[in-house]
Structures are given as C-alpha cells and as structure tokens.
Chains A and B, each alone.
Chain A
Amino acid sequence: MLIGLLSATPVVAQSEELLPEGLDISFKLIPGVTVVGMMLLFLGVGYLYKVANTGDMWVAGRSIGNVENGMAIGANWMSAASYLGMAAVIALSGVYGLAYVVGWTTGYFILLIFMAAQMRRFGKYTAPDFVGDRFNSDAARALAAVTTFLIGFVYALGQARGMGLVGMYVLGDITAVVPLGGLSAYQAMMTLFMLITIGYLALSGMLGATKNMVLQYTILIVAFLAGLLVTGWSAGYSTVLPQIEYGMLINDLSAEFSDPFAGGSYYLWIATCFSLVFGTCGLPHVLVRFYTVQNERVARWSCTWGLFFICLLYLSAPAFAAFGTALYGDQIGAVYGDPGMTGAAGDVIVVLATQLAGLPTWLVGLVAAGGIAAAVATTAGLFIAASSAISHDIYANIINEDATQRQQVLVGRLSIIAIGVLTIIFALDPQQPIAALVGFAFSLAAIVLFPMFFLGLWWENANRQGALAGMVSGLVLWFIPMLNEGNFGLVNGGDGWGIELLTTWMPAIGSALVATPLVLAIMIVVSIVTDEPPERTKMMVRQCHSPDPMPKDKTAADIVAEKTHKTPPADD
C-alpha cells in the first residue's frame, strides 16, 4: 500500500480503520466552539471588508502592499498539509520528511526569479486563462482546466483526511451516537466536515466574503506557534525558541528520526523535493497572488515576504515533530518498528503532542481548530478554482458559447457538488498520509502546468502544438506512476501494477524529476518543428520582460493591442 512513498522505510503500520492511537477521541465543547468560531470569524471579517469597499474590487483592488500580500501568500499555503501533514511525515520518515520542508519553501525562490514579475505583467493568472491566451488555443485551455480540476481534487483528498482525523479529537466518535450505515468514526467525521466545507463555501459565496487572508494567516500561525511553544515549555524540551532548541533533543530520539536515509532513499529525497519545488511554481492558487499587486516590484517583495511567513511555520514543524515523537515514545510506545506509530497518529501528531504534554483542553482545541480551519478554508478555495475551471473555461468557453450567467452559475454549483462527492468517496479510505496526497497534486502541477508557464514566459517561440503535446504527455506521465502504485484504488483493487522499475525511479510522489524535463523537451521539439506562434503572441511575451513599468490595470495583451492599433483578440 505504501510501497511508493515509503519503499525504503521500516514498515509503517497502517490500521485498517483510521484511528489515531493515543488521541483523546471524545466530544469536547470548547474546541468545538473554537472551530466554529474561527470559521465564522473568517467569514464575518471577509464580509465586513466587502461592505467597506464595494465596487471596483478587481481594478482598484489590485494594490496590496508587500507585507499584506506576503501574508496572503502564507495563508494560501497553510493547508492541512503544512499544518498537520508536514510534522507527520517528519515524525514518521525522519530526514526524508525534510524534503517537504525544503521543497515547499525553497520553491518560492524559483518562483520569484523566473515567474513572479513576468506573471504580474502577463496579467492572466488562472492556469486556463494563461494557457489559453498564451498559446491561442481552446483545447489547451480545456486541458489546463482539467488539470486545475484534478489538482483541486487530489489536493482536497489530503485536506479531507486531515479534517476527519482532527475532527475526531474535537467531536469524538459520532457513530457511537448515531450509527451511520457502518461508517467508521473517521469516515463519519470526514464526511461531516466536508459537508461543513460546502456550507462554508456557500455562505462565503452568499456573503460575497472573500477570505480575509491576513487575518486567516495570523490566527493559524498563532495557534500553531503557541501550541509549539507551550508544548515545548511544559514538557521541558525548550524555552523560548523551540525552533532551534529541539536540536538538543534529537540525540535522545530513536535513530530513525535523524538517520539520513532511514525514511527514504537519496533518490526519493531528491525526486520528492524537485516535484514540490516545481509544483510550487505551477500551482494556480499560488500564482494568483501576483495578480493582486500594483507593480512588479511589489510582486517581487511580496514573494519574499511570503517566503518569510511560510518559513515561520516550516521552521517550526520539525520541532513539533520532534516533541511529538518524544512524547509518543514516552507515553504510548515505540515510534518506529512494529507496530510503531500509525500513519493516522502521525497525521495528528501536532494535536497529539499538545495533548500528551498535558495542556488544557482549550489550548489543544485551539491547535486542533487551527488544523481544521486551515483544511476547510483551503478546500473551499480549491473547490472554487476547480468549479470556475469547469463552468467558465470548459462550459462557457467550449461547450456552450452562448451560456447565460444563470447557466454558468448552475454548472459551477453542480461541479462543486461533483467534486465534493468525489472527494468524499475517495477520501473514505485514503491510502496515503496527508503530505503524500497533497504531494501528488504538486507532481501534477510540476509536470503539466510548470512547463507551460515557464516556457510560455521565457521562450517566445513556444507554440500551440508544443503546449498541447506537452500537456497531453504530461497528464499521461503523471497517471502512470499513480496507477502503478495503486493510488485511488483504481487498478487491481488498490495494488496497482507494481512495476518495480517504475516504483523505484519514477515514484508518484516525485514523478516530476523524470517527467518535467521530458515534458519540457517534448514542448521544445514540437514547437521547433511546427510553425512559430503569431507575432502578436510573441509581442505579448516580450512585453512581460520589458523593464518599463506597466499600469496596474493593464495586461500584456492590452499593451500589445495598443501598440499595434488593433483591438484585443475577442476570443483566443
């Protein structure tokens, strides 16, 4: 089951039913209120902001400062994967888990030097819009939309798993009260929180409350850092700087925690890290942040600030993992070996650590609520992106060009329900930990979308045929290792094909190391042997690199249209 990710790991026991051992599973009022309160606060403040400045949000609103935008980047980044999954993978797989810390932070530098400012100048920020405009192709737009949908779905699986597991701490085993047709405690809780997510989505839609990212970031980081600080303090591991002080603890932990290749081979480390780095540069919800700034200088500095805010979390997660591992070893049993810590307990290690440190329920509840709120808010965002890809880019652009607003909204809603149901079904029995599930989405972004953005911005001769060939082969290349390892349970009832060679050299979690260069090569070769793109497209790319300032409400296409005294293309 875990062959792909943990092939070189000592067996990590995965119980049939997802039940984090050691976690106090019971109904708790205060944590429950905290979860609801946090989400209502996100909605409420978002709504107030909307009331405060109506109207020209799109145009005039494109002027957010460095720090605010940096925090928004941080908030976008804070999903269950960062909040829960990263400490989990570090606790379970030791140094291999650090590939996630490195991949999910250092990727921002690549994004900064190669794409942030150029993206801002191009002015198209969703993957389908960018690909459609840059490569003048509806087919390319549709492929990008399908990819966006898939990314949202795979990413959401990890979030759903996180909600279900942490939800059990907050609300207990609801199947003990209301039997739900044989669902396990995890399954019932995951389903419940997915329904809450859909409700959150609907509410924020009705209120028009765009998430207040600054507030969201602040609440989540405070919950996480306070939990870490108090845990370290009360367990006697650290005083004021747990992010450094956990170093003294490492030698007391089992060797697996810090042995270089105990949790995964060198190749697997590099492949995973590579996938996460370039996935960062291809993820639509990351790139969108550069559209919201007033100029390229702010794009650059807010990317830098974003990395700073992300580092606050990412330098702390290993400390949480170390404390959790130590407490688990003291109070529950050996962390590694057989039976060892289960994947389920790993995924809640952040909550488990605070609980085992004997902290009061409200404080553990705050940490748990942070994890759930991060998962719910991220999932809501992903679902919106996925549904707009379907309703706007596929339905209104391709299937029914005369679609009315009503029809589009209807299709959008239906696709949210569809992706919600899909997520619930596939998250009933997730075979991988949170971090790996989300990692698959990064592989996909790195393989299919990153080459489009990168070559699209940096090589004017990249053309439609190249993009189409690249995206199609990219999707195929992503699916091969996924199916080989039996993810989604689609092949051989979840065993996959199990081709040894592929599992070793093209693991799903790090498939981008092989596939991204391949896709880049395919795109380059096909672009060279086919016709060059039209002059207008080339000029758009050139405009992205000009050092001259651009007015903030203009896209590269507008400038080119003005220059050539033509109207912008009515359709791509």
Chain B
Amino acid sequence: MRDTDTHEHSSEVSDSRDTDGELTDVEKEQQIDYLDVEINLLKPATPFMRDHLQIIWLGFAVWTVTTFGPITATRIAPDLMTTTMPAIGFPLHYFLIAIGAPSAALLLSVWYARKRDQLDEKYGIEQMRIEQMETTTETASEEIATADGGLE
C-alpha cells in the first residue's frame, strides 16, 4: 500500500490562487491535519467537510421527501393520490410507495457516490487507480471471514 502519511499532499492540484492572494479551498484543505479539527455534524470544520456535508444534507432532504412524501400526500389528499395511473394500472399512491421510494433511494445512492467521487477529484484525493481496481475485482471473489461467517 501507499505511504500512510499522506496528509501533506505533494499537490498535483496546482490550483491557481485567488487573485487577491487568498487560499483556495483546495489549498486550505491541504494545510489541515484532520487530527486537529473538531468533528461535529452541524459544524463542518474544513472546506472538504463543508462541501461533503452540503451533499449529504441535500441528499437527506430529497430522501425524506421520496420516502415519507407519498404516504403523507395520501393522508392529505386521498382521492387524488388513489387515482389509477394510465397504462400500468397502479393506483398512484401504491406506485409511488412500492416502486417510487426504493428506486429513488437507489438513484440517490448513485448520485451521492458520483458526487463524492467528484469531490475526491476536486481535492485531489486518490483512492485507488483504475488498473488497481480491475485487478482487485478479478481476485476479489475470495470470500473472507466476516463477523457472521468468521467461525472459530
């Protein structure tokens, strides 16, 4: 594996400084040692965490609507929500709950994982190169001992 001490990035992200000489988010981030910053969900201490939490809260808000929205709307406007949908025949509320909510969660997951990858890119965080990923996927079929399977 790579060197563990990657806190000081040898910045390949040679971002331009802001014109007035202030540090960009990326540069600020590089000067931060995470072991010294306070972790509080409501008070992100670093530019990276601020960006990350923005995504998290946005996703969470949309998730709340797609998960609890349909049933709530059905409670408020039962007649409207129980109308039969054209072509597929579902009552609207049934479709939104049984198919809409799980699919929305799946799409949101893809959206979040993508966003987070982009964030990695912005801050020059390298997880694992593509080639490495591929070789691991090939050798990955090995099933490992897990807590529920790790027998004595």
Residue pair A109, B105 in contact (C-beta under 8 Å): yes
B102: contacting residue among A53, A315, A381, A559, CB under 8 A = A315
Q: List residues of A (83-125) whose CB comes within 8 Å of B's CBs.
A: 95, 98-99, 101-102, 105-106, 108-110, 112-114, 125
Knowing A95-B97, A549-B127 are in contact, say whether A205-B148 is a contact too (CB < 8 A).
no
Q: List residues of A (230-266) whose CB comes within 8 Å of B's CBs.
A: 243-244, 247-251, 258-261, 266
Contacts of A311 in B (CB 8 A): 102-103, 106
Q: Is A139 at the interface (CB under 8 A from chain B)?
A: no
Residue pair B59, A113 in contact (C-beta under 8 Å): yes
Give the Cβ gap from B150 to chain A, nearest Cβ, in Å: 7
Residue pair B112, A109 in contact (C-beta under 8 Å): yes
Residue pair A210, B150 in contact (C-beta under 8 Å): yes
Among the 9-residue stretches A64-72, A182-190, A425-433, A502-510, the one with 4 or more Cβ atoms under 8 Å from chain B is A64-72
| A277 (CB) vs chain B CBs: closest residue | B67
What is the CA–CA distance of A112 and B59 in the complex, to the nearest angstrom?
A: 11
Residue pair A250, B91 in contact (C-beta under 8 Å): yes
Question: How many of B's residues come within 8 Å of A, CB to CB?
Answer: 81
Give the Cβ gap from B67 to chain A, nearest Cβ, in Å: 5
Interface SS of chain B: helix, strand, loop or mixed?
Answer: helix
Contacts of A301 in B (CB 8 A): 113
Contacts of A544 in B (CB 8 A): 39
Residue pair A244, B35 in contact (C-beta under 8 Å): no
Contacts of A112 in B (CB 8 A): 109, 112-113
| B75 (CB) vs chain A CBs: closest residue | A266
Task: Bits for B67-92, please: 1 = Cβ < 8 Å to A, else 0.
Answer: 11001101100100110110011110
Q: List residues of B (10-41) whose CB comes within 8 Å of A's CBs.
A: 29, 34-41
What is the CA–CA distance of A381 and B149 in the complex, to the nearest angstrom?
A: 6
Residue pair A106, B125 in contact (C-beta under 8 Å): no
Knowing A63-B136, A289-B146, A300-B113 are in contact, say whether A409-B152 is a contact too (CB < 8 A).
yes
Q: Is B131 at the interface (CB under 8 A from chain A)?
A: no
Contacts of B136 in A (CB 8 A): 63, 65, 294
| B66 (CB) vs chain A CBs: closest residue | A106
Output the residue of A98, A285, A385 with the most chain B CB within 10 A: A98
A-B contact count (CB 8 A): 264
Residue pair A543, B63 in contact (C-beta under 8 Å): no
What is the CA–CA distance of A212 and B37 in the complex, to the nearest angstrom?
A: 41
Residue pair A46, B67 in contact (C-beta under 8 Å): no
Residue pair B147, A125 in contact (C-beta under 8 Å): yes
Knowing A114-B56, A311-B106 are in contact, say whether A284-B147 is a contact too (CB < 8 A).
yes
Among the 9-residue stretches A7-15, A302-310, A464-472, the one with 4 or more Cβ atoms under 8 Å from chain B is A302-310
Output the residue of A67, A300, A559 with the most chain B CB within 10 A: A300
Task: Bits for A27-58, please: 1 = Cβ < 8 Å to B, else 0.
Answer: 00000000000000000001001001100011
Contacts of B56 in A (CB 8 A): 113-114
Contacts of A62 in B (CB 8 A): 144
Q: Is A328 at the interface (CB under 8 A from chain B)?
A: no
Contacts of B106 in A (CB 8 A): 105, 304, 307-308, 311
Q: Is A288 at the interface (CB under 8 A from chain B)?
A: yes
Contacts of A308 in B (CB 8 A): 106
Task: Bits for B123-152, please: 1 = Cβ < 8 Å to A, else 0.
Answer: 101111000010011011111111111111
Residues of chain B at the chain A interface (Cβ within 8 Å): 1-2, 4, 6-7, 29, 34-41, 48-49, 52, 55-56, 59-60, 63, 66-68, 71-72, 74-75, 78, 81-82, 84-85, 88-91, 93-95, 97-99, 101-106, 108-110, 112-113, 116-117, 119-120, 123, 125-128, 133, 136-137, 139-152
7 A-B pairs (CB sep. < 8 Å): A58-B145, A68-B140, A112-B112, A208-B151, A212-B143, A251-B89, A297-B117
10 nearest CB pairs, A to B: A61-B144, A381-B148, A546-B34, A210-B149, A65-B137, A247-B90, A248-B89, A105-B102, A106-B105, A458-B41
Residues of chain A at the chain B interface (Cβ within 8 Å): 46, 49, 52-53, 57-58, 61-68, 72, 76, 95, 98-99, 101-102, 105-106, 108-110, 112-114, 125-126, 204-205, 208-214, 243-244, 247-251, 258-261, 266, 269-270, 273, 277, 284-285, 288-289, 291-292, 294-298, 300-301, 303-304, 307-308, 311, 314-315, 318, 381-382, 384-385, 388, 408-409, 412, 458-461, 538-539, 541-554, 559-560, 562-563
